Amino acid sequence: MSEPIPSRMRGLLLERYDNSLSAAIAGLRVVERAVPAVGRGQVLVRMEAAPCNPSDLLFLQGLYGSLKTLPTVPGWEGTGRVVASGGGWLGRWLRGKRVACGLQGDRDGTWAQYFVASATECIPLRRDVPTDQAACLIVNPLTAIGLLDTARRGRHPAAVHTAGASQLGRMLIALARDADYPMIHVVRREAQAELLRSLGAAHVLNSADPDFAARLEADCAKLRATIAFEAVAGPMTGTVLNAMPAGSAVCVYGDLSNEPCGGINPIDVIFREKTVSGFYLGKWLRSRGLLGSLRVANQAQRMLARGLIATQIQRRLSLEESVTGLRQYVDHMTDGKVLIVPHAKAR
């Protein structure tokens, strides 16, 4: 017998954006509000867990590319079970199923006990995908697959990645090794470099080393690395682009430094045909269509089942613990994701 759907739910509410990340997190509060109505083509998901990603932090600051009408519940992805459908064949088929779900649109996100998702934005889950991994199925695994696909479709012999120690960076190590694709992984500390080498990364550079730029240029020339996936921004964008061969491209997909991309040599852009572009997962998935997106999601689930990729979880948070837990996460992101578990009881 299915659990009755309540009329009220609890969730985290963002009432204003704040460029100060600590202030933005401190402004989150636990509220009770109505369980949202479900429209045609939508489903209601009883949320089991939802992660915090760097894109969520940018959203809290009002810096993300897709902002929403305030007040709103944050959270771009998560997992749960579909408990109601607003109609349509896909929504009816999903009812009762475990799904990974994401958000594209101006409505409440996944950091709440219930979440309205478009049926086409839900990924039916295999039985062997645990809740923790299902919660993080969309943003990092699909981005990693998308970046590697971009490099290979563009016929780039090798690639550079500038957030090597991140959860996504570790996935790229596994995917590139599985595909026998050369990659240069950039980290910020020697401890991170040692970690990546222990994971099988063959080419790891520490950006804190005084000869980093020269070593990066040498490795790019040796491996013919003509594309870079840049998550740091700031002066790192120019450092990487300037070190790469003529005709290379830097693809920016993150903003960990919270600074404008800089340091780009205009002579390289004009005479050596170097370019800077962006990668946005939502656009990449839309370009593949519904069936193509589902194939990519199934590929990610198979990789999880094989143990090829996984998201490290450092802590699970009830709604009441979320503000304190998110503050700690910001200072220890390399340790893994934090998961918000909306139905967990406060400890």
In sequence order, which residues have a C-beta less than 8 Å from that of residue 38 and are 6 or more positions away?
A: 44, 84, 85, 86, 116
Q: What is the pLDDT of residue 237?
A: 98
Each residue's pLDDT tens digit, 230-254 = 999 999 999 999 999 999 999 999 9
Each residue's pLDDT tens digit, 177-224 = 999 999 999 999 999 999 999 999 999 999 999 999 999 999 999 999
CB 99 within 8 A of CB 121: no
C-alpha–C-alpha distance, residues 294 and 137, integer Å = 12
pLDDT grade for 225, boundaries at 50, 70 and 90 = very high
- DSSP calls for 239-300: HHHHHSPTT-EEEE---TT-S------HHHHHHS--EEEE--HHHHHHHHHHHHHHHHHHHH
Q: What is the pLDDT of residue 65?
A: 84
How many CA atoms lie within 13 Å of 97's alpha carbon, on the beta-carbon side?
Answer: 17
First vs last Cα of the chain: how many Å apart?
29
Q: What is the pLDDT of residue 1?
A: 43
Q: What is the pLDDT of residue 104?
A: 79
Each residue's pLDDT tens digit, 259-274 = 999 999 999 999 999 9
Domains of the chain, earliest start first: 8-136+311-340 (3.90.180.10), 139-281 (3.40.50.720)
CA-angle at 58, arms to 171 and 66, nearest 5°:
100
Burial 313-333 (b: 16+ CB within 10 A, else e): beebbbbebbbebbeebeeeb
pLDDT grade for 66, boundaries at 50, 70 and 90 = confident
Q: Which two tokens stand for residue 90?
A: 């896909």
Each residue's pLDDT tens digit, 159-169 = 999 999 999 99
Please list the helix, strand and coil fractions of the chain in percent, rounded to the nearest 5, in that order: 40, 25, 40
Is the pLDDT at 90 greater than 60? The verdict is yes
SS3 of 83, please? strand
Residue range 87-109: mean pLDDT, rounded? 94
Each residue's pLDDT tens digit, 336-345 = 999 999 999 8
Q: What is the pLDDT of residue 2?
A: 60
Q: What is the pLDDT of residue 334?
A: 86
Residue range 68-80: mean pLDDT, rounded? 97
Each residue's pLDDT tens digit, 99-158 = 999 987 899 999 999 999 999 989 999 999 999 999 999 999 999 999 999 999 999 999
SS3 of 200, please? coil
CB 129 within 8 A of CB 105: no
- Least confident window among 34-38, 63-67, 116-120, 275-279: 63-67
Burial 179-190 (b: 16+ CB within 10 A, else e): eebbbbbbbbee
Element (H, E) at 185: strand 183-187
SS3 of 87, please? coil
Each residue's pLDDT tens digit, 301-319 = 999 988 899 999 999 999 9
